[in-house]
Amino acid sequence: MKLVADSGSTKTDWAMGGLRFKTQGINPFHQDDEAILKILSEELLPQVKDYEIQEICFYGSGVRQELEDKMTAALRKVFPSATFIEAHNDLLGAAKALCGDQEGIACILGTGSNSCIYDGRAIVSNTPALGYILGDEGSGAVLGKRFLNALYKNRLPEQLKREFELSQQMTMADVIARVYKQPMPNRWLASLSTFISKHQSEEAVHQLIVDNFSDFFRFNINPYDRRDLPVSAVGSIAFYYESQLREAAEKEGYAMGKIMRSPIDGLV
């Protein structure tokens, strides 16, 4: 059987035909070999141990070209009987799922963000995402960062701040400590989308979401100079904020193509 994976910073979707499995996200750029092996052996293996897996195709966040061997080596340790294993970055997986064999602009808008020009077979151009500190405009992590910035610099209603701190059981000092002193702050920042989405009808919050996407188009899509191509996107942020994404696309002069929560079905 062939096992296919799409992995972001937060979760990994695994599939074998019509079967679906989930583990936490795997990122070989941020995680060492031990952490990756722990996820594969303790979270994935118990779910698939009854199947004879012959091929594995893994598409994941952080799987840069120089880290492909690291990821395939980890998979081979856990699945030594597999005859074929390959690992590529999640952007190629997203492009294949969104565009198939057609040319287009493919994007990921989840915990992180990324984009590319895809010619129907391969990625031919990519604006560097640069991560949530230097870039990742349009992502859940940056949305969370922008929300907290607006919240504590008094650009959002005081009542919203009180509700946020009550729901999270956190003060501003707790928020700062969580971001700067705890691991995986990008995941935590992106998790604030749950709270943000409940208040997206608030005009200031709605505009914050639109502005996050507008920055994504301006800083990541404009450099391609290909307004003739549709822009398609995968990821929870694209899926749950589809109306704001389309609003930002229209504002920046782009036509939206497909919007999918996860590329796994397209990859299968």
Digit-coded pLDDT (tens) for 73-126: 999 999 999 999 999 998 999 999 999 999 999 999 998 999 999 999 999 999
Backbone phi, then psi, for 195, in 5-degree steps?
-70, -45
Distance between CA atoms of residues 163 and 186, nearest Å: 22
Q: What is the pLDDT of residues 125-146, one digit of tens each?
A: 999 999 899 999 999 999 999 9
pTM of the model: 0.82
Which three-class secondary structure state does DSSP give residue 139? coil
Q: How confident is the model at residue 242 (pLDDT cuts 50, 70, 90)?
A: very high
Structure confidence at residue 61 (pLDDT): 82
- Does residue 191 register a pLDDT over 90? yes
Task: Sketch the domain layout of the chain as residue ranges.
Answer: 2-92, 101-133+209-262, 142-198
Domain 101-133+209-262, CATH among 3.40.50.720, 3.10.450.50, 3.30.420.40, 3.30.365.10: 3.30.420.40
Above pLDDT 70, what percent of the chain? 100
Q: Are 2-92 and 142-198 equal in CATH topology?
A: no
* The two three-digit tokens of residue 197, written as one number: 């989405």
Q: What is the CATH number of domain 142-198?
A: 1.10.720.160
- Architecture of the domain defined by 2-92: 2-Layer Sandwich (3.30)
- Does residue 5 register a pLDDT over 90? yes
Counts of helices then strands in the chain (DSSP H, E)? 14, 10
- Does residue 9 register a pLDDT over 80? no
